[in-house]
């Protein structure tokens, strides 16, 4: 049975691409255009996987990821970061926020840098949630 | 307190060096910078035989995105929060929309390279922004013209006052930026025409009145723990402010923005607009309270 996948990206073209790949793999996509919208949807929809962009208006993926991984009710949701921001910068930012007293967070389960092929994305989704 | 900045760039006039100097605002609570690039509609508009230039839009968006990703990585790595807008539309309208959506505390823009004539015909983005934005606007200037004004723009602001409500609001605003300010210089420029009286006494009286009002303003800064000194200049307002900024080694000119309507400004200009466009110094424009 298909699972619920939240696609978070401010670019509508990227959301269309990602949701299409999710659907073609038998899962149900839901969408959010920024970190704030995504947080509301995670709370109301409890997705099995979040495909998360980083650089977005209102709230970045970095802050959202941190909120997810420090909240007991959401920390087990799988997160695939899919961004133009490189992994090293993402990890450094989390480290910097930890130093400001935010507490440590684990590395994302999956980190893909844009652009990504549909085949690679599909295979990564399958590996994450079947 | 400035927690969030909307940083509007066309890249050629405002780059990462400007962002670096704004990072001094972290001492005063800055934690979020939102980048914005507006692709002006005429760049991708419908053309006969070509139609809407979608390819050009994509090219411009991707070029901006590449620059923003590079800047964002550097800011994320030091624990800053970063956002981005890349929009097609009218510059002023899109900036105002994004500033409201993001609830930005300060909008930073570069000085447009347009000549006065071009501004007259196309409308100045700066004028439009200071008229419509409910939050202060910092018009940033490139370094080579003025090495003093780079690094920490809020360190030694020159407050140009004309006693208007917006000028009074500028005083409160700068007092709120106390952790960043080393010293404030307060200047009022008396228009030469205003002192053309029958006697020397009239001129002296105008100077004395202005000085008394400025001492009151300096007293407010000093009561808040900020060193302040006042100066009176005589001449054309924009030129006097520029001269004062240079002589005081100011790092920025701060002033209340005009509440004149758009057509008045288009025809006769306004002092804040003139300083924002022509001064070599970063210019902070503080709007009056909107009713």
Q: For A79, left (φ over 0), alpha (ψ -120 to 50), or beta?
A: beta
**Over 50: is that where the pLDDT of B100 sits?**
yes
Q: Please report the pLDDT score of residue B146 as a whole number.
A: 55
B208 touches chain A (CB under 8 A): no
| Contact with chain B for residue A62, Cβ under 8 A | yes
B255: nearest Cα among B240, B234, B268, B266: B240
Residue B94 has pLDDT above 50, yes or no: yes
pLDDT at B116: 47
Question: d(Cα B183, Cα B199) in Å, to the nearest integer?
Answer: 36
Mean pLDDT of B264-277: 67
**What is the pLDDT at residue A95?**
94
Q: Is the pLDDT of residue B273 over 90?
A: no
Residue of A nearest to B70 (CA): A85
Q: Give yes or no for residue B268 having a pLDDT over 50.
A: no
With a cut of 50, say whether residue B117 has pLDDT above it: no
Query: Residue ranges of chain A with pLDDT lower than 50?
Result: none
Q: Which of A59-68, A111-120, B206-215, B218-227 has the lowest mean pLDDT?
A: B206-215
Interface check for A107 against chain B (CB to CB < 8 A): the answer is no
Note the pLDDT tens digit of each residue in B36-87.
999 988 888 877 777 788 889 999 999 999 999 999 999 999 999 999 999 9
Asked if A60 has any chain B CB less than 8 Å from its own CB, the reply is yes
Give B-chain residues touching A96 at CB under 8 angstroms: 76-79
- Rounded CA separation B18/B3 (Å): 17
Closest to B186 in 3D by CA, of B223, B229, B153, B221: B229
As a whole-number percent, the residues of chain A with pLDDT over 70 amount to: 99
Give this complex's ipTM: 0.93
Across the interface, do A57 and B102 touch by the CB < 8 Å criterion? yes
Q: Report the DSSP pairing between strands B227-234 and B183-190.
A: parallel
Burial of B84 per CB tally in 10 Å (0-12, 13-18, 19+): buried
Q: Which residues of A touch B78 (CB under 8 A)?
A: 96
> Chain B: residue nearest A57 by CA?
B83
Nearest CA in chain A to B103: A58
Q: Do residue B77 and residue A63 have CB atoms under 8 angstroms apart?
A: no
SS3 assignment, position A104? coil
Residue from the list A58, A59, A85 with its beta carbon closest to the beta carbon of B72: A85
**In B, which residues are within 8 Å of A81 by CB distance?**
none
Least confident of B59-68, B108-117, B239-248: B108-117
Whether residue B159 has pLDDT greater than 70: yes
Tell me whether A94 touches chain B (CB under 8 Å).
no
Local structure of residue A29 (DSSP, 8 states): E
Q: Is the pLDDT of residue B275 over 50?
A: yes
């Amino acid at each position: 049975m298909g699972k619920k996948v939240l696609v978070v990206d401010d670019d509508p073209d990227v959301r269309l691409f990602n949701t299409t790949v999710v659907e073609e793999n038998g899962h149900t996509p839901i969408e959010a255009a920024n970190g704030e919208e995504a947080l509301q949807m995670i709370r109301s929809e409890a997705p099995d996987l979040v495909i998360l962009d980083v650089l977005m208006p209102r709230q970045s993926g970095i802050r959202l990821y941190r909120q997810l991984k420090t909240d007991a009710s959401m920390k087990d949701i799988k997160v695939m970061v899919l961004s133009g921001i490189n992994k090293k910068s993402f990890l450094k930012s989390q480290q910097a926020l930890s130093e400001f007293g935010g507490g440590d967070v684990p590395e994302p389960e999956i980190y893909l840098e844009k652009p990504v092929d549909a085949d690679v994305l599909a295979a990564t989704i399958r590996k994450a949630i079947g | 307190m400035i927690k969030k900045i909307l940083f509007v760039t066309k890249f050629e006039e405002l780059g990462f060096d400007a962002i670096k100097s704004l990072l001094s605002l972290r001492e005063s609570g800055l934690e979020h910078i939102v980048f914005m690039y507006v692709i002006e509609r005429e760049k991708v508009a419908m053309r006969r035989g070509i139609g809407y230039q979608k390819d050009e839009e994509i090219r411009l968006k991707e070029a901006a995105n590449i620059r923003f990703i590079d800047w964002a990585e550097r800011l994320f790595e030091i624990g800053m929060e970063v956002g981005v807008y890349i929009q097609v539309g009218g510059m002023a309208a899109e900036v105002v929309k994004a500033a409201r959506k993001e609830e930005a505390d300060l909008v930073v823009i570069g000085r447009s390279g347009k000549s006065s004539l071009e501004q007259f015909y196309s409308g100045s983005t700066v004028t439009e922004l200071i008229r419509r934005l409910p939050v202060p606007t910092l018009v940033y200037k490139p370094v080579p013209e003025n090495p003093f004004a780079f690094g920490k723009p809020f360190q030694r602001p020159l407050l140009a006052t004309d006693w208007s409500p917006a000028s009074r609001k500028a005083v409160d605003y700068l007092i709120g930026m106390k952790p960043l300010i080393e010293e404030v210089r307060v200047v009022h420029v008396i228009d030469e025409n205003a002192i053309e009286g029958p006697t020397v006494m009239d001129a002296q009286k105008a100077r004395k009145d202005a000085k008394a009002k400025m001492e009151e303003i300096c007293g407010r800064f000093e009561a808040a723990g900020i060193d302040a000194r006042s100066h009176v200049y005589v001449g054309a307002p924009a030129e006097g402010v520029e001269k004062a900024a240079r002589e005081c080694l100011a790092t920025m000119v701060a002033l209340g923005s005009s509440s004149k309507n758009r057509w008045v400004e288009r025809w006769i200009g306004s002092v804040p607009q003139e300083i924002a466009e022509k001064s070599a110094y970063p210019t902070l424009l503080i709007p009056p309270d909107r009713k």
